[in-house]
Structure 1
């Protein structure tokens, strides 16, 4: 086994540990591990990430289902447009984007650069949601007209599906606030429902890649199993560690990684 594969599997364990310790956010590490540690091209990396994220989220969703923390009505309103968007993005949109998109002087915009830059921006947004202390506000959207709430959830579901399809990340930091403010769910229910939505989105998104992607199933399944094992270790250690402080520290790490990815991608393209 090559050293890069060993490092990749260590990364899989860390991803699972973070997911188990913080209850989310670890999936944002999956694409960087595939691209920068295992040197997999970004399109394949985002596809693999969807499989790993979907499988890992399914484990968490099953646990939350057993605890009665999944609101299936809200999840279907959000997930149906999301899965249509993510499947369409993986099946039709991504394959149709040319490798070379445009030139701006010495700067060449490529498909890989677009994906990784967009992913880095998503990492910066995710880090902000983990670092910033959330103020408790009286948000009355959940008590508004049902048609308005459902309409907004459908639109936001489609947008989330598009983003997930492009970058291969679960998007829990986007989904949870939507479920709290629009569906009126309590935080634990929102997290459980979010995991169910992420699992559904990610697996269906991955299915959209199967027609035009050569999958190394042995490697992908080993990586996924190691990540899931890491989740259980993380859940165990979370009993002894302050999860909020850990999540904030992880947020700073994601921030640094997001800036690093932007720097690496842009500096390598003539900027």
Structure 2
């Protein structure tokens, strides 16, 4: 039953991601961990795949409508890469426990 609830919530997450352009991982992580029972480290990695795929598919109609500013998106994306690599390195340090990651996530929310 948790998987059914999780999948229904995932539909709502996809809807919010497309309507608002964000929020996918913020909403997906607690659903994966607390509803579907996925370990936090796996859920964090899974949200990257989920949100990346959904975002790419959502990009297509915006691209066709001319809503995408490639220069701005490219600069923002490149700048974000540094933080992404740093976060991945920090998450794999031995003293960074899953509980700490979830507390950090809650604090950012």
1:94 partnered with 2:91: yes
Q: Runs in 1 of length 4+ with deviation above 6 angstroms?
A: none
Task: Tell me: CA distance 1:121–1:17, structure 2 relative to 1, closer, same or farther (3 Å).
Answer: same
**1:32 and 2:8 are equivalent in the alignment:** no
Q: How far apart, in 1, do the equivalents of 2:9 and 2:107 lie?
A: 21
The TM-score with structure 1 as length reference comes to 0.37
The counterpart of 2:7, out of the listed 9, 12, 18, is 9
The 1:84/1:21 distance shift into structure 2, 3 A limit, reads closer
Counterpart of 2:65? 67
Relative to its length, the structure with more helix (as a share) is 2
Give the count of matched residue pairs: 109
Indicate whether 1:116 and 2:98 are aligned.
Answer: no
Which structure: larger Rg? 1
CA distance in 2, matches of 1:20, 1:65: 13
Partner of 1:167: none
CA distance change for structure 1 residues 76 and 20 in 2, over 3 Å: closer, same or farther? closer
Unaligned 5+ segments in structure 1 are 102-109, 124-271
Q: Unpaired segments of 5 or more residues in structure 2?
A: none
1 CA distance for matches of 2:77 and 2:19?
26
Q: Normalised by the size of structure 2, how large is the TM-score?
A: 0.83
Counterpart in the other structure of 1:77:
75
RMSD across aligned positions (CA)? 2.0
- How many angstroms apart in 2 are the aligned matches of 1:56 and 1:64? 13
Instruction: Give the Cα–Cα distance (whole angstroms) in 2 for the partners of residues 68 and 30 of structure 1.
Output: 29
